[in-house]
Amino acid sequence: MSWTENRFRTAIAVFAVLAGIVVYVIGHEVFPYLSVNHDEGVYLQQANLLLQGKLWLTADLSKVFQPWFFIRDGKRLYPKYTPVAAGLFTLGLRLAFLGWRSR
């Protein structure tokens, strides 16, 4: 590897680390309680369902109670959102869990 290639790769790595730091700082300083619409709870619930190999919750709920952002179909409750964001959360949860278990 030439000196120029090595320098370019180092610059890219430094840029990636700095971008990660900026995202982290903005995420924690600008949005200390996550987003203002509170969708993260739904995504995390859906991610937990995916980790368990499920696509819906099963519950015998009262007709007067409807969990937020879920659709009722008999005794099944489906999240209203597509599983794209939840899939990313699932990946992160899986990696965090594997990292925790390997210690």
Q: Residue 11 above 60 pLDDT?
A: yes
Domain regions of the chain by residue span: 1-32, 37-103
Reply yes or no on whether the pLDDT at 100 is more than 70.
Answer: no
Q: What is the pLDDT of residues 26-79, one digit of tens each?
A: 877 877 776 666 677 778 888 888 999 988 888 776 666 667 778 888 778 888
Q: Helix 83-101 vs helix 40-51: angle between axes, to the nearest 10 degrees? A: 60
Q: Tell whether the model's pLDDT for residue 15 goes beyond 90.
A: yes
Q: Which residues of 47-78 are buried (b: 16+ CB within 10 A; e: fewer)?
A: bebbeeeeeebeeeeeeeeeeebbeeeeeebe
pLDDT tens per residue across span 76-93: 888 888 888 888 888 888
Indicate whether 103 pLDDT > 60.
no
Q: What is the pLDDT of residue 18?
A: 96
